[in-house]
Amino acid sequence: MSEEIKPHAVYTTSEAEKILKVSNSTMKRMLKSGLLKANKVGKQYRILGLEILRLVSPKVENKAIKAYLGLKKKVVNEIEKW
């Protein structure tokens, strides 16, 4: 049974990981790359439900795919130089 994502609710990174079914390291990468926007409160991040919904929309998914393919191309080009 999946949990409904409330647009105006505030989630911790642990809660967002469970909702998105991603690991802690993937969550960190998503936050660092800006794919998922969050506010830092003290030493912890808080994520607005609207951001999680934005992430799972098809428009954002296409943007993520383009970003991934661009990064992959850069990595392959660097490896070929070796």
Tens-place pLDDT, residues 5-46: 888 899 999 999 999 999 999 999 999 998 899 999 999 999
Examine the pLDDT at 58 and tell me if it is beyond 80.
no
For 15, phi then psi, to 5°, come to -65, -40
Examine the pLDDT at 50 and tell me if it is beyond 90.
no
Residue 46 bridge partners (DSSP): 12, 39
Would the CA dihedral through 68, 66, 71, 19 be positive or negative?
A: negative
Beta strands in the chain (DSSP E): 10-12, 39-41, 44-48
Residue 57: predicted pLDDT: 76
Examine the pLDDT at 1 and tell me if it is beyond 50.
no
- Find the range with the poorest average confidence among 32-36, 46-50, 68-72, 76-80: 68-72
